[in-house]
Amino acid sequence: AQSVTQLGSHVSVSEGALVLLRCNYSSSVPPYLFWYVQYPNQGLQLLLKYTSAATLVKGINGFEAEFKKSETSFHLTKPSAHMSDAAEYFCAVTLSGNTGKLIFGQGTTLQVKP
Amino acid sequence: SQTIHQWPATLVQPVGSPLSLECTVEGTSNPNLYWYRQAAGRGLQLLFYSVGIGQISSEVPQNLSASRPQDRQFILSSKKLLLSDSGFYLCAWKGQGELSNQPQHFGDGTRLSIL
């Protein structure tokens, strides 16, 4: 069965520092993976998705993620944090089948300090 | 382009009162539709999903129900709200028949507070 684990419920970085949000997945089939961002009192916005075309995926707002099959990981990074990056980030994997259901990680809250 | 609307944005209800949250999608036909709940400090919990009119699958036993009376309308209901029903409710859609690598698209959510 597919599952997603996000290591670290809270991550704090200084403005301008590297952002690294960790996501590990478990899947018996080749996974399709997503990162979403949620700003306070808003819905989820897609940051990027892994579709097996390339292991390094670039998304919006300067974020990127690298799919590493050997490590079953899909960590999200950004070279230089901006205050506007403060939000909650969710990693998700698609369940196999035609329901389109997603399994979400528990989320990581990113705090950016000035 | 496709859009998804949820309303109301916020709602305060007394314990024991009924509930109806509505979600509609525009610009697409026969989407898969989903209801999630996000409780304070917790991740997203899938409550219901629907692959067509009148077709509802429940993911967890609870005090809530869902209906899909029209192709692009998804309603979340309760006859009697509990304190534990408080949370942030999100509706999402995904194109029917799309490959699994296509994402779900989310509405802006409804903040439900039970007093």
Q: Write down the pLDDT at residue A96.
A: 67
Cβ contacts from A onto B, under 8 A: 58
Rounded to the nearest 5 degrees, what angle is found at the Cα of A27, between the Cα atoms of A22 and A31? 75
CB contact under 8 A, B100 and A104: no
Residue A108: closest C-alpha in chain B: B43
CB contact under 8 A, B103 and A49: yes
Q: Write down the pLDDT at residue A3.
A: 86
CB contact under 8 A, B106 and A102: no
CB contact under 8 A, A49 and B98: no
Residue B107: closest C-alpha in chain A: A43
* Tens digits of pLDDT across chain B (115 residues): 889 999 999 999 999 999 999 999 999 999 999 999 998 767 888 999 999 999 999 988 788 999 999 999 999 999 999 999 999 999 999 987 766 678 899 999 999 999 9
Q: Write down the pLDDT at residue B111.
A: 94
Based on the number of CB atoms within 10 Å of its own CB, is B60 exposed (0-12), middle (13-18) or buried (19 or more)?
exposed
Q: Write down the pLDDT at residue A29.
A: 73
pLDDT digits (tens, 9 = 90+) for A16-68: 999 999 999 987 777 889 999 999 888 999 999 998 778 899 999 999 999 99
C-beta neighbour count of A99 within 10 angstroms:
16
Half-sphere exposure of residue B52, counting CA atoms within 13 Å on the CB side? Answer: 2
pLDDT digits (tens, 9 = 90+) for A56-106: 999 999 999 999 989 999 999 999 999 999 999 999 998 766 677 888 999
Q: Write down the pLDDT at residue B54.
A: 92
Q: Contact, A72 vs A25, CB < 8 A?
A: yes
Q: Write down the pLDDT at residue A92.
A: 93
